[in-house]
Amino acid sequence: MIVVLNPNSSAEHVDNIVGLLNRNGVDNFVVPGGRQKTVEVFGDINGLDRSVLESLPMVERILDRGGPILAVDRRPDDATFDIPLGNGATIGGKKIAIIAGPCSVESLNQILDIAMAVKEAGAVALRGGAFKPRTSPYAFQGHGELGLEMLARAREETGLAIVTEVMRCDHVELVAKYADVLQIGSRNMHNTQLLAAAGEQDKPVLLKRGWGATLDEFLLAAEYVMLQGNRNVILCERGIRSHETYVRNTLALAVVPEVKRLSRLPVIVDPSHGTGRSHLVVPMSNASVACGADGLIIEVHNHPKAAWTDADQALDCDQFTALARGLEAFAGACSRTL
């Protein structure tokens, strides 16, 4: 059982509730961190009446299990949060936002070339990895801060917002210095320490679903971020692992309308990782918009075959331009625009 205290509860309020539980012989634990204090209670609360707990002024609510609260705080008529990207664009409103760019930042020329092309085609943000979570330690791990500097330069040239991945708690500050949106990748969706660290800074967080994660775990990962005070979380579906072999991942699009039913958080789709095949990116982008996605994040490279990473799934700049044009009709069918 979880006792959630009011956001403005003081340390003294927490002590009071812990004292009450202790006097009643009930094991309990004050969950550390988080702007909204919570106390987990173990075992039966025997002599202690639940309604007594609920009636205490510092108690906001009592939950029977540790599901998400902030991530699903919506009523049927609530609009999706409109999350500002820092360059005037937003994710979550009527406009469908496209984030595009290479898997990895390889060189300044490469990132500038791609940035100008995707800007021209209608993207609002540039993606590109400077810190790369690679399966093999023998593979390119990203240019690190040098890559971040190249991204910042691309922002100067194009006005695109920068979306880039952060992989460790002690890099959050560094990445947040250069990026407009911090990406937490699929491999780190369960890295609760990193989630909390991202929640302690102010830039929006793009959170990708783990390929083996349930919807509940996905929303609870968002909760880890939000509980630290950063409510600007953008969820991203990027495919799950299944028995299918003709694709790199199984893009599970039903999560889009389900997240929008449960939550006010915007949700976007990554059809590049979600299929791993460049020839499937256009149809799955169209499908993503059709089922309600608030945006897309797409791998684009100026020379896909020579890409240092993820060559099979990147579009070239012309293919991306065609994708963006083709999307307009589907956005229109949803009464939205690009």
Task: Give the residue with the Cβ less far from a copy of itself, 19 or 326.
Answer: 326
Tell me which long-range contacts 7-10 makes (C-beta under 8 A, separation of at least 24): 7/35, 7/36, 7/60, 9/37, 9/58
Of 52, 79, 146, 333, which lies in the binding site for a copy of itself, with binding defined by CB under 8 A? 333
Stretch that binds a copy of itself, among 5-13, 73-81, 117-125, 185-193 (CB under 8 A): 185-193
Of 23, 306, 318, 337, which lies in the binding site for a copy of itself, with binding defined by CB under 8 A? 306
CB of 156 to a copy of itself, least distance (A): 25
Q: In whole angstroms, what is the distance from residue 161 CA to residue 127 CA?
A: 9
Closest CA to 237 of 220, 221, 264, 259: 259
Q: Tell which positions 99-128 bind a copy of itself, by CB under 8 A.
A: 106
Q: Is 146 in the site for a copy of itself (CB under 8 A)?
A: no
Task: Give the residue with the Cβ less far from a copy of itself, 8 or 335.
Answer: 335
Phi, psi (deg, nearest 5) at residue 210 = -65, 145
Q: In whole angstroms, what is the distance from residue 161 CA to residue 133 CA?
A: 22
- At 283, which amino acid appears? P
E-state strands within 275-328: 295-299
DSSP 2-24: EEEEPTT--HHHHHHHHHHHHHT
Q: Tell which positions 223-262 bind a copy of itself, by CB under 8 A.
A: 223-224, 227, 240-247, 250-254, 256-258, 261
Q: Is 67 in the site for a copy of itself (CB under 8 A)?
A: yes
Q: In whole angstroms, what is the distance from residue 201 CA to residue 204 CA?
A: 9
CB of 91 to a copy of itself, least distance (A): 19
CB of 155 to a copy of itself, least distance (A): 24
Stretch that binds a copy of itself, among 11-19, 58-66, 112-120, 149-157 (CB under 8 A): 58-66
Q: In whole angstroms, what is the distance from residue 264 CA to residue 219 CA?
A: 11
Tell me which long-range contacts 118-121 makes (C-beta under 8 A, separation of at least 24): 118/160, 118/300, 118/317, 118/320, 119/158, 119/159, 119/160, 120/321, 121/317, 121/320, 121/321, 121/324, 121/325
Q: Is 192 in the site for a copy of itself (CB under 8 A)?
A: yes
Q: Is 337 in the site for a copy of itself (CB under 8 A)?
A: no
Q: Tell which positions 262-301 bind a copy of itself, by CB under 8 A.
A: 274-275, 277, 279-280, 283-284, 286-292
CB of 159 to a copy of itself, least distance (A): 29
Q: Is 43 in the site for a copy of itself (CB under 8 A)?
A: yes
Q: What single DSSP character describes residue 335?
A: T
Stretch that binds a copy of itself, among 9-17, 48-56, 82-90, 209-217 (CB under 8 A): 209-217
Q: Is 135 in the site for a copy of itself (CB under 8 A)?
A: yes
Q: Is 54 in the site for a copy of itself (CB under 8 A)?
A: no
Q: Is 196 in the site for a copy of itself (CB under 8 A)?
A: yes
Phi-psi region of 306 (alpha: psi -120 to 50; beta: other; left: phi over 0): alpha
Q: Tell which positions 69-88 bind a copy of itself, by CB under 8 A.
A: 69
